[in-house]
Amino acid sequence: MEYIIIFIAAVFVNNIVLAQFLGICPFLGVSKKVETAVGMSAAVAFVMTISTLTTYLMQKLVLDPLGLGFMQTISFILIIAALVQMVEIILKKVSPALYQALGVFLPLITTNCTILGVAIMVIQKDYTLLSSIVFAISSAVGFGLALIIFSGIREQLSLTRTPKAMQGIPIALITAGILAMAFMGFNGIV
Amino acid sequence: MKNNLKILTNGIIGENPTFVLLLGMCPTLGTTSSALNGMAMGLATTFVLICSNMTISSMKNLIPDQVRIPAYIVLIAAFVTVVQMLMEAFIPALYAGLGLFIPLIVVNCIVLGRAEAYAAKNKVIPSMFDGIGIGLGFTLALTLLGACRELLGTGKMFSLTVYPENFGSLIFVLAPGAFIVLGFLIAIINKIKS
């Protein structure tokens, strides 16, 4: 039950993009086509789960016992950067098909603030290891949901006539605002 | 000196990170629920930008080209940790308000972008002015966005009442308002430029 609540809260109520403003750059950058949005979401889900597991263990097994809490930001970003690089190399060797699908998005993920954000959030919320992993997966699902819905809307939006000053980013931001308003309807279900 | 002034205004107006380059959107949207929060976030980022630009520019001959990105990230993360600890000690209320977005300065593309595009190619003093200029441009943009949202949402600006709170609509302080106000601000700036 606890895990279901974490899942619903992270996907709908506190959606990582539309309520917490993390990962806006890929949200605006790779949402022009539904296919790329799906690829990006899959890559984020993959890396987020592995990196949250690794940073959680780092915090509990190394930083906490040694009293090195102040090294959190530095060590987490290094772990994430190294991990993304490693995932890229391993995927290339083990599963060329998956690498073909996710390859382009992997280097972009290091500077995606959802990854570092979720890694820090699970420490702040004092989750157990299993809850952390559930939270990471649900956050990635929430990111994917927002990104895929938004890219569907943007594909339609590119066919409409918008005022010149509003073209591109401004109209995309206002659409995202209306989408965020729709997601506010989920408030209070958990 | 004249040249440095030009670098400074370029950062504030010509290459404004928020309205022209559209970088660093997460803190821009996430921390601007009030003008004060926006300004604090902008100033924290400015501090990191100035320090990282100066250090990277003075160490550019020591860092091997192949590992420059990880080296830059470690330097930036060190300065972010400094800001984080200073804020936690001296302005705990503001630190609690900004929360997660302070450690996330590390992954703000403005900081790494300036290190790569400017500091790695120029001398220390111009890099410092570039950091100040871009940082102030970012701070101004965040303060403007925060002030608009605070005014529309609660009828206040920097916590001073402008019109009665009953006439404001809370939606502008909440998440959707951030997207909508920023969208309209960029549209207005596009209109003025053309």
> Which residue ranges make up each domain of chain B?
2-139
Closest-CA distance, A20 to chain B, in angstroms, reads: 7
Residues of B in contact with A19 (CB under 8 A): 175
What's residue B48's pLDDT?
95
Do the Cβ atoms of A124 and B100 come within 8 Å? yes
In this predicted structure, the answer to whether residue B2 has a pLDDT above a threshold of 80 is no
What's residue A103's pLDDT?
66
Query: What is the pLDDT confidence band of residue B168, given thresholds at 50, 70 and 90?
Result: confident
Q: What are the residues whose beta carbons fall under 8 Å from the beta carbon of B170, sequence distance 6 or more?
A: B153, B154
B80 touches chain A (CB under 8 A): yes
B85 touches chain A (CB under 8 A): yes
Do the Cβ atoms of A180 and B176 come within 8 Å? yes
Closest-CA distance, B157 to chain A, in angstroms, reads: 22
State the average pLDDT for chain B.
89
CA distance A26 to A32: 10
Q: Tell me what the mean pLDDT of segment B73-97 comes to.
A: 91
B107 touches chain A (CB under 8 A): yes
Looking from the CA of A2 toward its CB, the CA atoms found within 13 Å total 7
pLDDT in tens, chain A (190 residues): 889 999 999 999 999 999 888 988 888 888 888 888 888 888 888 889 999 999 999 999 999 889 888 888 899 999 988 888 888 888 888 878 778 777 667 777 877 789 999 999 999 989 999 999 999 999 999 999 999 999 999 999 888 888 888 888 899 999 999 999 999 888 877 7
Cβ(A72)–Cβ(B103) below 8 Å: yes
In this predicted structure, the answer to whether residue B132 has a pLDDT above a threshold of 90 is yes
The CA–CA distances, whole Å, from A103 to A23, A27, A89, B91, B130 equal 19, 18, 10, 43, 34
What's residue B75's pLDDT?
92
Please give the model's pTM, rounded to 2 decimal places: 0.89
Q: Tell me what the mean pLDDT of segment B166-191 comes to.
A: 89
Cβ(A63)–Cβ(A79) below 8 Å: no
Closest-CA distance, A94 to chain B, in angstroms, reads: 26
Closest-CA distance, A177 to chain B, in angstroms, reads: 4
A116 touches chain B (CB under 8 A): yes
Do the Cβ atoms of B22 and A169 come within 8 Å? yes
CA distance A54 to A116: 12
Query: What is the pLDDT confidence band of residue B17, given thresholds at 50, 70 and 90?
Result: confident
- Indicate left, alpha or beta for A168 from its phi (over 0: left) and psi (-120 to 50: alpha): left
Which of the given ranges, B32-36, B98-102, B144-148, has the highest pLDDT on average?
Answer: B144-148
- E strands, B43-167, are 156-157, 160-161
A34 touches chain B (CB under 8 A): no
Closest-CA distance, A78 to chain B, in angstroms, reads: 8
In this predicted structure, the answer to whether residue B145 has a pLDDT above a threshold of 90 is yes
In this predicted structure, the answer to whether residue B76 has a pLDDT above a threshold of 90 is yes
Residues of B in contact with A165 (CB under 8 A): 187-188, 190-191, 194
DSSP bridge pairs for B161: B156
Residues of B in contact with A124 (CB under 8 A): 100
Do the Cβ atoms of B29 and A178 come within 8 Å? no
What's residue B125's pLDDT?
92
